[in-house]
Structure formats: structure tokens, C-alpha cells
Amino acid sequence: MTDLSSDYDGEYPIVVEGLRNSFGDHVIHEDLSLKVRKGEVLGVVGGSGTGKSVLMRSIIGLQQPTAGEITVLDHKMGESTEEDSIDLRSRWGVLFQGGALFSTLTVGENVEVPLRQFYPELSDMLRSEIARFKVRLSGLAEEAAFKYPSELSGGMKKRAGLARALALDPELLFLDEPTAGLDPIGAAAFDALTRELKETLGLTVFLITHDLDTLYAICDRVAVLADKKVIAVGTIPELLALDHPWIQEYFNGPRGRAALAAKDDPAIAPEHDTAPQAERPLAPQGSGMDTSRTGA
């Protein structure tokens, strides 16, 4: 891996070294290394099927690598005691690609699932109060806690998934394509929310995305997956200085240029607004009213 910005001497809550993942003969990752800095939003990009989701699943222990070492919050994955790994799982929150809400549970009950699992001693009242707080924190009205996923728009489902990911006050937040399928206003609002939560809660965010606007708007650095490894990690200007064809095509292609223009134009740049989460209106899904996002 080429770490393009090496002027950092802080902590690394996630360290991946020499990772190999394969499914049968199909090698997904080979000698992949990556270090995530404490308190950053790290964007992870790469073509479809390059193994972004598999990388995330490896980091959180859902995918057993065939080689390599992964250290999360100073714990070596795969070597922890049962107690350690339970403790570790309570220190991160995950929004999976596709949401993965339980359809037979209300939003509030979905958020209560990890609370029940990790803090069974909590009273029903306290548990539901915490769940409702997380729902509000994710920018949904409190009433949304009583709705079923089928009653929510796509953007609301993402926020509900985020509320569940935040249930345990995590230190690390993993987001897999959080803005995929959202209309431009909804996607920009979700970006602003992610950035705001990171700043107020001191989170480190591992953010897989295809969305160039998201990369420009909220990521501190970006890791590029190609050729089975992380070929480079750095700020967007640092990446642009490389002459790797995929990186150039991605950031300097028409969509990349439009995202950059949108970022630099104050009239259309996604806002980092500071309105209280619960009062922020949700974007109407599929309204097509906005021209500020370039899509990806």
C-alpha cells in the first residue's frame, strides 16, 4: 500500500496487514494492507466486485481471511477470547450494504436488538428510551421508532440502520454504501449527518462508497482498492497526483470533475448544516428536485 500522507503519529484503530481472502480459486485480496487513523472518515473506493464489502466483513470478523493479520482497537482478530470478541463487537456499529433491518420488528425494536444482546440487564423502559434517542440522533422523528421498515422510505431506512449501528455508542462506524439509492438531497443530508456524528461523537468512520460527492464532502482520506489490494490511501489531491489509470479515470472522469465542481461551488455544495437532527426534514425520495449531486 502507498500511504501518501505519512505525517501522522496518532493511533490506528484498524490495522490490516498482508490480508488474503479467496473463495475457492477466486482470489479477492492478496497482500492487502491498510491503516485507519483515529477520528478520520476513511472513504473506501474501488470497482464493483473488487472486495470492499469482503474487506469490511473481514475487519469485523464475519469473513475468515486465508492469510494476514487484522488488529481492531488493539485486539488481534481471530485470536481473541470469547469475552474479548463480545467486548469488541460492542465497540463498533455497522450499516450493511442494503440495510438489513428486521422487517418484522419496528424501527425502535430494531435498535433495541443490540441493546438486548449486549446489555440484557437494562430495563425495558430504559432500553426503549435509549432506542428512541438513537432514532432521533439519526435524524428521524421519534414516531419513526414505532414504524415497520416497510412503512419507511429508502432514506428513512438508511437512517434507521444508522440508529441501530449507533445503539451501543460505538467508537468505530462501518458504513457500506450508505447513500446508494438515495435521491441527491437525501444523500447530501446523510453525508452531513455522518460528518456531524463523527465530529460530535468522536467516531472513526470506515465508509465504503461509489458516491464521488460523498468522497469530496466528508472523507478525510480515501483508500483505493484495485488489483486485489489497497493501491493507495491519501487525500483526494494526493491521489490525483498519482498516474494510476483507474484513479485518474475515477476522479478525473466526467463524474469526478462534476463532483469537484459541485464541491467548490458554494451555491451547490452539500451543506454541513447544524440543525438539530430531529428537526432536519427528510428529503422526499425520488423527488429529483436537486441538481447539487452528481451521482456516481
Ligand X SMILES: Nc1ncnc2c1ncn2[C@@H]1O[C@H](COP(=O)(O)OP(=O)(O)OP(=O)(O)O)[C@@H](O)[C@H]1O
Residue ranges binding ligand X (CB under 6 A): 23, 28, 46, 48-54, 97
Toward ligand X, which CB reaches closer, 45 or 167?
A: 45
Q: Which residue in the shown chain puts its C-beta closest to Mg ion? A: 53
Binding mask 78-107 for Mg ion (x = CB under 5 A): -------------------x----------
Cell numbers placing 118:
449486549
E-state strands within 61-176: 67-72, 75-76, 92-95, 172-176
Toward Mg ion, which CB reaches closer, 97 or 248?
A: 97
Cell numbers placing 62:
464475519
Total number of residues that touch Mg ion (CB under 5 A): 3
> Is 223 in contact with 42 (CB distance < 8 Å)?
yes
At 233, which amino acid appears?
A: V
Toward ligand X, which CB reaches closer, 127 or 157?
A: 157
The minimum distance between CB 11 and ligand X, in angstroms, equals 27
34-63 residues in contact with Mg ion (CB under 5 A) are 52-53
Q: Is 108 left (phi over 0), alpha (psi -120 to 50) or beta?
A: alpha
Measure Cα distances from 277 to 168, 186, 192 in Å: 18, 14, 10
The minimum distance between CB 63 and ligand X, in angstroms, equals 8
Determine if 21 is a binding residue for Mg ion (CB under 5 A): no
The minimum distance between CB 48 and Mg ion, in angstroms, equals 7
Q: Which does 23 bind (CB under 5 to 8 A by kind): ligand X, Mg ion, none?
A: ligand X
Quote the CA–CA distance of 107 and 216 in Å, as a whole number: 31
CB atoms within 10 A of CB 243: 7
**Sites of contact with Mg ion (CB under 5 A):** 52-53, 97
